[in-house]
Amino acid sequence: MDSLWEELLQYFKDYFIDGIMYNMASTFVSVNAQVGNISTDVGKTPSEFMPTVFALVRNLSENVIMPIAGIILTFIACYELIQLVIGHNNLANFDTWIFFKWIFKTYIAVMLVTHTFDFTMAVFDVAHHVVQQSSTIITEETAVTLDDMLHFRAILREKEVGELAGIYLQTSIVQMLMNILAVLIYVIVNGRMLQIYLMVSMAPIPFATFGNKEQSLMGQNYVRSLFALGFQGFLIMVCVGVYAVLVQSVVFTDDIVGSLWTVVGYTVLLGFTLFKTDDISKSILQAH
C-alpha cells in the first residue's frame, strides 16, 4: 500500500513538474517572440508594414483629399497676394517685386502639395534609419537558456506535491497574464502604424497651408506630429532594450514563482511605457 501511495505521489509530482515547465517555457517563448515582433514591426516604414493598406491610403489621399487641398491652396494664395498688395502703405508705395515674391512662395507651396507623399515618407525614412541603427545596438534577448530550464527542474524535484500544485496554478495564471499583455503590446505597436496611416491620408491639407505665415502653423504642427510618430519607434526600441536587460537580470533562485511574478511586473511596465511613448515623443517635439 505504501509503495502504491508513493507511486501515486510520484505520478502527480511528475505531472505538476511537467506542467510547470511547460507553462514557464511557453511564457518565455511568447514574451521573446513578442519582443522580437516589436523590433521587426517598428523597423518597417508605412509602405513596408502593410503595402495594400498603404496603397489604399495613398489613393484616397491623392484622389479625395488632394482636390480639397488645391482649393485651400488657391484661397491662401489669393489671400497672400491681397496681403502683399495692400501691405505697402495702402498702395501708396507700390513695388512690383512683390509679385515675384508671391510667385516664388506660391510655387513652393504648390511643390509641397503635389509632392506631399514624398515629403511625408522622407520623415519616416529618417525614422526608419534611426530605428535600424538602434536595433544593431540593442541585442539583448528575453529567452531562457536550456541550463536555466534544467536548473528549474532540479529545484522543482525537491518540492512536495502540494507545493508543486500551488506553483502549477500560479504559473498557469502567469502564462495567461503574459498572453493578455502580449495582445495589449501588439495593439499598442500596431495602433501606432494605423495612426500613421490616418495622419498620412490627410497630409495634403496641412501642407497646403505653408503658403501663408499665419496659416502655416497648421502645417508646422502637422510636420512635428509626423516626426513625433516616426521617432516614437525609436522610443519603443529603447523600451524594448531596457525590458530585455531587466528580464535578463532576474535571478532565478529557489523562489521560482517570485521570479516569474517579477518578469510579469517588468512586462506590465513595458506595456505602460509603450503606451506613454506617444505622449513623450509629442512633448519632446512640441507636437499637439
Other CB atoms within a 10 A radius of the CB of residue 20 amount to 25
pLDDT score for 260:
76
Over residues 135-149, the pLDDT tens digits come to 776 655 555 655 666
* Residue 209 located in a structural domain: yes
CB of 260 closer than 8 Å to CB of 30: no
Does residue 242 surpass a pLDDT of 80? Answer: yes
Check residues 46 and 2 and name the one with the higher pLDDT: 46
Range picked from 39-48, 141-150, 216-225 for highest mean pLDDT: 216-225
Of the pLDDT bands very low, low, confident and very high (cuts 50, 70, 90), residue 107 is confident
* Residue 245 located in a structural domain: yes
Section 215-237 average pLDDT: 87
Over residues 243-267, the pLDDT tens digits come to 877 777 775 666 777 777 887 788 7
Contacts of 177 (CB under 8 A, 6+ apart): 264
- CA distance linking residue 244 with residue 237, whole number of Å: 11
Report the percent of the chain where pLDDT is more than 70.
85
Does residue 128 surpass a pLDDT of 80? Answer: yes
R_g of the chain, CA atoms, integer Å: 29
* Residue 197 located in a structural domain: yes
- Concatenating the DSSP letter of every residue in 256-279 gives HHHHHHHHHHHHHHHHHHHHHHHH
Contacts of 260 (CB under 8 A, 6+ apart): 24, 27, 170, 171, 174
Of the pLDDT bands very low, low, confident and very high (cuts 50, 70, 90), residue 197 is very high
Domain count, the chain: 1
Mean pLDDT for all residues in the chain: 79
* Residue 77 located in a structural domain: no
Q: 116-137 and 161-201 helices cross at what angle (nearest 10)?
A: 150
* Residue 29 located in a structural domain: yes
* Residue 108 located in a structural domain: no
User: Is the dihedral angle over the CA atoms 92, 97, 98, 99 positive or is it negative?
Assistant: positive
Question: Which residue range forms the structural domain that includes residue 270?
Answer: 2-69+119-284
* Residue 266 located in a structural domain: yes
Section 223-232 average pLDDT: 89
pLDDT score for 84:
74
Does residue 187 surpass a pLDDT of 80? Answer: yes
